[in-house]
Structure 1
């Protein structure tokens, strides 16, 4: 018995494909409009402002790259970069260690306790950063926080966690508490994607829990670890919200130029130097791009790149 196949004419297939493309563009157009209006156009406008200088004496004039040359020789900007670099050297290893240990422990648990623990560790990330910083400012207060009560039981004065000598550690603690849960979820998801038969083969060969964790699990999630470190590096270089919230409480421990983003904010909204503030913001973006790209280049083998 002969069979006949019905083929669609090429012109009709092309028409159907074009119609689906138009429908697809129709769905994503609202996103593209909002994306362009609130990100692309403001970035273009801000970059244009960074190429001009505006003063009462000379008015607005085009200066080209002069603002950028000034920024990268500005001691306030360079000082802020040095501080966020120091924070990166301390905070990123601390966050990575907490997240990795938590993920490895939870990966070995298979009870309801693991689910509850994941939720509790992730919960700080779900709290808005401003609210979290305000909460910690209360906890750090020697007068109203719990430290005063605890140290008072031993007849001691509570330390001032918001003093200039302690503010660095206080901010490290806040950010580590805020972000470790998010990084833990990323690492935990990578661990769950590993084939369990690999662990069984390792146990047959005599490997213990510590050897499985350090010699199998951690190397196999190297690409996820690189991604976590990249996210942490970008976020730390853009450090802004936590020190800004604590600045009004820390009584001089956090100057307006404490971080590059805080410096740009102060220039724009305290001194109305919008052109130079745009320059500082884009100069920081250049540093963030170079730093993250350089790190990804150095770790390209872990990312599976050549």
Structure 2
């Protein structure tokens, strides 16, 4: 009998350890998603002037909020802007991360620990703080860079207007995200046995050949992972344009899809439309992520054959 109770306790133990994680998942992940889905299927109906008790009622809306969200030109424009922004951010950030990781992994690199910390340190700066710092460097009236260019009689570009705005926003993301991606790639490089590189050197391979023919193919899974994370972060861009918006008139309230969600919810007091737009963004992100992972997985299986 005692043995049976002990066996039963052992079988229940893993589930008991999972209970705290399951409760946190339900409260802070599943429940907010369910509530957002509920709000997206409702709308507020106003009677008369909308004054007094009972003048505003929440009624069933069906899929009308989703229809409005998918046909909203502001959401489409914001998606196109984020796509152009991502075309600048993702290749630049991953290219620099790979370059820094390869340089730090090379032999006879002086100050490797300091360089690694210096490259990673911007990632520890919160996105809002980073956007404020760079915003003051972009602002012509207070930027020391503009004063220096003016002193030498050089042109002073306005990075907060027109096409350069994409470069300015992308620079903030690249500055903050390169260090994290570099650490991921560098960790993968350090896990490779040194005997592989030594054998390549004995065969007469140079450092460039070792990097191109050995190191980059070996860290390809890490590159895929960082690319995946970078694309998701790009689709969710919010802090940088929102923080720079008071400094320029070139950033509308719906510059990115998440900014439109925020404006609908808190600027227009329409949480139902905001919830529908948020669900659409989440579904699109999920589909793109799943499709990308399937594509990478099928490519890896095809290469293995």
In the superposition, the TM-score normalised over structure 2's length comes to: 0.90
CA distances 1:199-225 after superposition (whole Å, capped 9, x unpaired): 111122221111110111111111111
Partner in structure 2 of residue 38 of structure 1: 28
CA distances 1:132-188 after superposition (whole Å, capped 9, x unpaired): 110001111111111222112213453222123321110011100010000000000
Give the deviation of 1:112 after TM superposition: 6.0
Tell me if the contact between 1:223 and 1:303 (Cα under 8 Å) persists in the aligned partners: no
**2:282 is the alignment partner of 1:292:** no
- The whole-number CA distance in structure 2 between the counterparts of 1:112 and 1:55 is 67
In 2 relative to 1, CA 186–67 (structure 1 residues): closer, same or farther, beyond 3 Å?
Answer: same
**What pairs with 1:1-306 in structure 2 (closer than 5 Å)?**
10-11=3-4, 13-18=6-11, 20-21=13-14, 24-25=17-18, 28-29=19-20, 31-57=21-47, 59-109=57-107, 113-156=111-154, 158-250=156-248, 252-301=249-298
Partner SS state of residue 158, structure 1? coil
Deviates more, 1:113-122 or 1:201-210: 201-210
In 2 relative to 1, CA 264–70 (structure 1 residues): closer, same or farther, beyond 3 Å?
Answer: same
In 2 relative to 1, CA 19–227 (structure 1 residues): closer, same or farther, beyond 3 Å?
Answer: closer
5+ residue gaps, structure 1:
1-7
In 2 relative to 1, CA 139–301 (structure 1 residues): closer, same or farther, beyond 3 Å?
Answer: same
- The whole-number CA distance in structure 2 between the counterparts of 1:181 and 1:242 is 18
- The whole-number CA distance in structure 1 between the counterparts of 2:10 and 2:139 is 64
Tell me if the contact between 2:45 and 2:58 (Cα under 8 Å) persists in the aligned partners: yes
- The whole-number CA distance in structure 2 between the counterparts of 1:150 and 1:301 is 53
Tell me if the contact between 1:151 and 1:158 (Cα under 8 Å) persists in the aligned partners: yes
Partner in structure 2 of residue 5 of structure 1: none
Aligned residues: 295
In 2 relative to 1, CA 301–217 (structure 1 residues): closer, same or farther, beyond 3 Å?
Answer: farther
5+ residue gaps, structure 2:
48-55
Partner in structure 2 of residue 3 of structure 1: none
CA distances 1:33-88 after superposition (whole Å, capped 9, x unpaired): 34332332121111110011223148432222222222222111111111111112
CA RMSD of aligned residues (A): 2.2
- The whole-number CA distance in structure 1 between the counterparts of 2:301 and 2:114 is 34
Partner SS state of residue 84, structure 2? helix
In the superposition, the TM-score normalised over structure 1's length comes to: 0.89
Give the deviation of 1:110 after TM superposition: 5.5
Tell me if the contact between 1:164 and 1:253 (Cα under 8 Å) persists in the aligned partners: yes
In 2 relative to 1, CA 16–61 (structure 1 residues): closer, same or farther, beyond 3 Å?
Answer: closer
In 2 relative to 1, CA 175–118 (structure 1 residues): closer, same or farther, beyond 3 Å?
Answer: same
